[in-house]
Amino acid sequence: MFTQAPASDIPHDPAAIALRLLDGPADDAHIGALLDTLPKVRAAELDPWVAARIAEVSDDLCPQDLAVIAALIDLTSLSPEDTPESVQALVAKAVAPGHGLPSTAAVCVHADLVSTARQALDAQGELATLPDAGQVALAAVAGAFPHGRSPLAVRAAEMSHVVTAGADEVDIVIDRGALLAGRWAEVYDWVALARRLVQRPDGTRARLKVILESGDLPSYDLVFRAAIIALLGGADMLKTSTGKGRHGATPAAAAILLQAVAHWRDETGLDVGVKISGGVRTVAQAAQYLHLARALNGTQRADADHLRFGASSLLDDVIARVDPLR
């Protein structure tokens, strides 16, 4: 287990946190030693627990529940056919979904459309006076999404581009090849570099969301290990999937990520979040994930700082539930 320290005494610099937790440099040996102390995630225990929690979820959701789900959505479009016009429409829908629903937490777009989305969000500013409108963050995928297989300089340049273009949040994917080979330091180094690259010249920074592609990892233990390495590197949110892999999110994978951030909070005092993406299309699915999040991290963390749904069609299902005659 990690060395515990009072939250008030913990520096918020990721490199300093990693140095303290690893008791040395972030190399394969030190990271591997830390990973070996982690609790084991056993499918024979986790799967029945998750199934029991899901069985508790009612399909009869009240308008307040639907509003909560809508406010947790990163309304996403990552299609090869995206255009400036389609992104503008996406932004308008995110800011003002109508039907008495609040704004979504964010919009998420390709790196080359960040400037378009930024301009559209800024132009929607007058809608902030609407009763249900809120601040919509601009998220971008970067770092050679969805596979991360470009040279490091290319990945870094794309990261810098989206931050300069106005992204509030940046979603990257880990080096899954390095993870599967046990090259822990390579996984860590990329996340740590990405954390530095989201810094802005004025001292502020974009939020860093790190995608594990959990459905394509061979074991629950490796998902948990990947989550801890991403947190060591400075992730603000762990994300299940790119939506482009062989498998998307699953309740079990979501539970592991939620357990990882709870473990991180207990051991470091730092509060980070989870983004569930990849195949989350219906209110029924979102309600199950929301219930898991509340069970593992508390009702008070069922907000956009701690939980997101990356989705393109979930909002449509929320609207259909609110207004079935639309």
H-helix or E-strand spanning residue 164 = helix 152-165
Q: What angle do CA 210, 41, 149 make, to 5 degrees?
A: 30
- Distance between alpha carbon 210 and the CA centroid of its chain, in Å? 6
Annotated active-site residue in 168, 209, 236, 275: 275
Catalytic-residue membership of 275: yes
The amino acid that residue 14 corresponds to is P
Quote the tokens at residue 37: 């102390």
Annotated active-site residue in 168, 209, 239, 317: 239
Residues whose CB is less than 8 angstroms from the CB of residue 52 and which lie 6 or more positions away in sequence, other chains included: none
Annotated active-site residue in 171, 175, 236, 317: 171
Give 258: exposed, middle or buried? Use CB within 10 Å, 0-12, 13-18, 19+.
Answer: buried
Neighbours of 208 (CB within 10 A): 24
H-helix or E-strand spanning residue 74 = strand 73-76
Question: Contact 132/104 with Cβ under 8 angstroms?
Answer: no
Catalytic-residue membership of 171: yes
CA dist., res. 101 & res. 323, Å (int): 11
Residues annotated catalytic, as ranges: 171, 239, 275
